[in-house]
């Protein structure tokens, strides 16, 4: 209700954003949208064109008078490197400035080998994808990195990450200094949230739930990642679950019946082994379910129900427009989604659930890379960088 | 991460907001804060002074050169009416533009009598408090109304409110047209959230939990009320609770073991009667607890534990800076707070709980009126109204 941000900004970066997200397609629309003068808009647009960030193309429809010249974001004005750091693999992509993947490569790692070895591998993959895409180091405008643990976003340093021994306080951005571009680092779940919401952004409130070895959640308020007081928002893996009577499962955090202990990938593997299924990894359980194996399907569906029981509470509290499920276990698709929907609709309030859209990611394996690219692009196209680009 | 709102607005309403909230105290500070030109700031400040919204007073400290003239918000440039509509009472206050209460009056009602009778009573109380404060109808700049049910904020109409029969879609603002001022209507819990956070606002993420007959929650993101997709965010009364084994309590919503069914004011009364306590209302149970009655204390504390078990999940998910407990049962104070804290610290993740501030409202009975006043003031001082005030 505060009035501070009621005006739509007309800074050069904001004008670029409006065009890039399709909210405005001409100088006239930018004038209408921001309330800034025709002169101001025209000068700034000219500067953005001179900096190669905007291009003019074609003519729009006119409602009388000369039809307007259409503006386009020049998504080929550079590229970004997107690094998706997992516990057992690192994937790197190079994308254009609309997050379109130009080349990608991955390699198995063990995150516990520590930052020096793992980040050297990420750099090597970075050079490889640039070469594959026919791009130079000088084309790189920014680097985005998603990591499986808490990160102090302003410095790009992991903060006591539980499953990344040796990484606490490591200055990840320094590892990418060869590209002379800004480096943005965030928790993988926040990064995936960006990837799932896509380049066009939106004003929606959404939850992006990653079901991997653990369970985490990216929280999106009005189209932006919400972080909370200590940056730990979305840490839903240790919410206490209403379990079947008598069931008590110890979690690695020391409490019992945490969501992660009952429905994460690790618990899925444990339950599958206990049921005598021929599996050695969570991926095996997911593959069995995809192939239609009855007991595996039931395990995945039950994990979905447990996750859904927590999401039902969060739907009442947060009233999101949509929930997207991603991560390794999300590759199981429908059985997981069915279990989640069943529990959400059983316990969420009708008003909040009425138009709620619950879906599984189209490409769970890509959302980390696309999200890291988007984070890098947004960071690169912020006010300061754009101001610098158009005045240099 | 988007750049759209990265600049601090220099609209007249925004300048007023910066002075009003103590973020800037002189023209020079406004220039530094917004990046706007000295000339622009000076012209707009002069307009705000001419419109009687800002006043000049005293001299600040100088770091060299002429000391700056200090600016002050003129909180006596008008008044607002604040209406706190409850299920069994209506309370009306008149406040100045800093939400300082000048006069207040209340009357018992039954919300089920319907909008005509109840709103007539609110109008009568409005005229009375204005007279008591020595103010005229023409001094009223805006009216704020909090109601115990869901509201479509843009129109001020209740939307299928479960405990307000006859109120669905009623145009509440029309009832206050005699004051010729804008009328803002919202759910009481959102209004209380504003009241608890105070006029100075903040950039904090917070939960304001109302424990009355039912249980609801105002959600504050970055100092603003967060509403969600359908405006039902914070509807935590029907979250499924992890109850003691074998316990199954039917809720009025048709589900079992909802938070409200186990820990709301109505359930407190039910459990007190079942325990043979000499009570006829929730207020009696609260009074017994305040007077130190053992069984009443234990009931209140247990309700606190149940509420805390849900808040622990929300702390993990939302990672707020603070939680404030308000509403009728909050008048019990410490025993309720102790139960809540016990459960929150037992189940919330250490990182999210580390610096979390959980407290009980200083004046639970006033937060509805102060919040309604703040809603009216913020609405009155938004961009459009201020632009109109300084150009007329």
Nearest Cβ partner for B382 among A6, A194, A312:
A6
* B217:A317 CB<8 A: yes
CB atoms A347 and B240 under 8 Å: yes
pLDDT of residue B385: 74
Contact flag A351-B235 (C-beta cutoff 8 Å): yes
Give DSSP secondary structure letters for B314-369: HHHHH--SEEEEESGGGGG-HHHHHHHHHHHHHHS-HHHHTT-EEEE-S-TTTHHH
- Per residue in A62-84, pLDDT (tens digit) is 666 667 788 998 888 899 999 99
Cβ contact A368:A195 at 8 Å: yes
Chain A residues close to B168, C-beta within 8 Å = none
Q: What's residue B2's pLDDT?
A: 37
- Which chain A positions have a beta carbon within 8 Å of B2's beta carbon? 17, 201, 223-224, 378
Q: Are residues B277 and B312 in the same domain?
A: yes
B contacts of A231 (beta carbons < 8 Å) = 319
Give dist(CA A206, CA A221) in Å, integer. Answer: 7
All residues of chain B having their beta carbon less than 8 Å from the beta carbon of residue A313 are: 236, 239-240, 310, 313
With respect to residue A107, please indicate whether it lies within any of the assigned structural domains: yes
* In a domain? residue A4: no
User: Is pLDDT at B7 greater than 80 in this prediction?
Assistant: no
In this prediction, residues B379-391 reach a mean pLDDT of 78
Show residues of chain A in contact with B255, CB under 8 Å.
Answer: 347
Which pLDDT belongs to residue B62?
A: 61
| pLDDT tens sequence across A205-255 | 999 999 988 899 999 999 888 999 988 899 999 999 988 777 899 998 888
Selected residue with higher pLDDT from A387 and B169: B169
A211 and A347, same domain (yes or no): yes
Cβ neighbour number for residue A120 with a 10 Å cutoff: 12
> Which residues are CB-neighbours of B116 under 8 A, at least 6 positions away?
none
Which of B49, B73, B97 terminates a domain? The answer is B73
Distance from CA of B276 to the nearest CA of A (A): 30
| pLDDT computed for residue A5 by the predictor | 38
**Which of B224, B228, B310 faces A318 most closely, judged by CB atoms?**
B228
Do both B245 and B348 map to the same domain? Answer: yes
Query: Rounded to whole angstroms, what are the CA distances from A333 to A216, A324, A340, B308?
Result: 18, 12, 11, 35
The CATH number linked to B307 is 3.30.420.40
Q: Are residues B209 and B313 in the same domain?
A: yes
- For residues B340 and B242, state if they share a domain: yes
Q: Are residues A355 and A381 in the same domain?
A: no
Domain with residue A28: its CATH number is: 1.10.10.10
On whether residue A351 sits in a domain, the answer given is yes
A48: chain B residues, CB-CB within 8 Å: none
> Given an 8 Å threshold on Cβ–Cβ distance, is B382 in contact with A312?
no
- The shortest CB-CB distance from A236 to any of B233, B316, B355 is to B316
CA–CA separation, B333 vs B140, rounded Å? 35
Among residues of chain B, what percentage have pLDDT more than 90?
Answer: 60
Are the Cβ atoms of A229 and B150 closer than 8 angstroms?
no
d(C-alpha B80, C-alpha A230), whole Å: 37
- A241 part of a folded domain: yes
Packing angle of the helix pair B282-290, B265-274 (nearest 10 deg): 80
What pLDDT score does A64 carry? 66
pLDDT digits (tens, 9 = 90+) for B79-93: 999 999 988 899 999
Interface size between A and B, measured as CB pairs under 8 A: 217
pLDDT average, residue stretch A25-51: 88
Beta bridge partners of B157: B152
Which residue in A9, A217, A230 is closest to B7 by CB distance?
A: A9
Range of the domain at A37: 12-73
Same domain, B43 and B128: no
Cross-chain residue pair A317–B4, CB shorter than 8 Å: no
How many Å lie between the alpha carbon of B163 and the closest alpha carbon of chain A?
A: 15
Q: Do A205 and B229 touch (CB under 8 A)?
A: yes
Report the residue of chain B nearest A218, measured CA to CA: B317
Residue B238 inside a domain? The answer is yes
* Residue B188 within any structural domain of the chain: no
- Render A44-97 in DSSP notation, one character per residue: HHHHHHHTTSEEEEEE---SSSSPPEEEEE-TTS-EEEEEEE-SSEEEEEEEET
What's the ipTM?
0.84
Q: Specify whether B49 is located in the same domain as B121.
A: no
Does residue A7 lie within any of the structural domains?
no
Q: Give the pLDDT band of residue B291 (cuts 50, 70, 90).
A: very high
Whether residues A22 and A101 share a domain: the answer is no
Q: Which of B5, B204, B257 sits opposite A5 (nearest CB)?
A: B5
Phi, psi of B213 (to 5 degrees): -60, -45
Are residues B347 and B238 located together in one domain of the fold?
yes
Selecting from A17, A221, A255 the residue whose C-beta is nearest the C-beta of B226 gives A221
Q: Is the pLDDT of residue B256 over 70?
A: yes
Instruction: Answer yes or no: do A163 and A257 share one domain.
Output: no
Among B195, B234, B317, B358, the residue to mutate for chain A (most A Cβ within 10 A): B317
Residue A88's pLDDT band (cuts 50, 70, 90):
confident
Is 90 exceeded by the pLDDT of residue B160? no
Q: Give Dmax (Cα) for chain B.
A: 76
- Which tens digit of pLDDT belongs to each residue from A144-161? 999 998 888 889 999 888
Is residue B116 classed exposed, middle or buried when 0-12, 13-18 and 19+ CB atoms within 10 A define those classes?
exposed
- From chain B, pick out residues whose CB is under 8 angstroms from the CB of A375: 1
Chain B residues with beta carbon closer than 8 angstroms to that of A16: 3
**Which of A240-249, A349-358, B335-344 has the highest average model confidence (pLDDT)?**
B335-344
Q: Within a domain: residue B340?
A: yes
CA-based nearest residue in chain B for residue A317: B234
Name the domain count of chain B: 3
Looking at the fold, whether B205 and B344 belong to one and the same domain comes out as yes
CB neighbourhood size of B392 (10 A): 6
Choice between B14 and B384, residue whose per-residue pLDDT is larger:
B14
**CB nearest to B319's CB, from A223, A228, A352:** A228
- Provide the shortest C-alpha distance from residue B107 to chain A (in Å): 29
């Amino acid at each position: 209700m505060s009035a501070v941000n009621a005006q739509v900004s007309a800074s050069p970066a904001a004008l670029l954003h409006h065009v890039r997200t399709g909210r405005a397609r001409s100088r006239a629309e930018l004038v209408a949208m921001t309330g800034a003068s025709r002169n101001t808009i025209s000068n700034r647009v000219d500067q953005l064109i001179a900096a190669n960030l905007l291009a003019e193309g074609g003519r729009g429809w006119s409602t009388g008078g000369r039809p307007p010249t259409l503006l386009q974001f020049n998504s080929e004005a550079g590229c970004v490197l997107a690094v998706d750091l997992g516990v057992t693999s690192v994937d790197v992509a190079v994308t254009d400035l609309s997050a379109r993947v130009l080349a990608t490569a991955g390699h198995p790692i063990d995150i516990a080998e520590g930052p020096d070895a793992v980040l050297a591998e990420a750099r090597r993959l970075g050079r490889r994808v640039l070469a594959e895409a026919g791009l130079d180091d000088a084309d790189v405008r920014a680097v985005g990195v998603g990591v499986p643990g808490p990160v102090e976003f302003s410095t790009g340093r992991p903060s006591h990450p539980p499953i990344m021994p040796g990484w606490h306080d490591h200055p990840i951005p320094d590892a990418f200094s060869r590209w002379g571009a800004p480096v943005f680092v965030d928790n993988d779940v926040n990064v995936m949230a960006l990837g799932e919401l896509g380049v066009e952004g939106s004003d929606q409130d959404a939850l992006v739930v990653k079901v991997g070895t653990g369970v985490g959640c990216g929280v999106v308020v009005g189209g932006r990642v919400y972080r909370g007081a200590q940056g730990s928002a979305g840490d839903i893996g240790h919410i206490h679950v209403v379990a079947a009577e008598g069931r008590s499962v110890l979690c690695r955090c020391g409490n019992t019946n945490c969501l992660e202990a009952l429905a994460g990938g690790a618990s899925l593997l444990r339950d599958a082994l206990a049921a005598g299924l021929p599996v050695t990894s969570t991926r095996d359980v997911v593959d069995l379910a995809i192939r239609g194996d009855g007991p595996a399907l039931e395990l995945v569906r039950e994990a979905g129900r447990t996750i859904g029981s927590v999401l039902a509470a969060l739907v009442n509290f947060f009233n999101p427009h949509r929930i997207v499920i991603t991560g390794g276990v999300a590759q199981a698709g429908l059985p997981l989604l069915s279990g989640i929907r069943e529990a959400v609709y059983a316990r969420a309030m009708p008003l909040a659930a009425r138009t709620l859209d619950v879906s599984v990611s189209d490409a769970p394996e890509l959302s980390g890379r696309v999200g890291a690219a988007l984070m890098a692009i947004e960071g690169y196209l912020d006010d300061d960088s754009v101001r610098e680009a158009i005045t240099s």
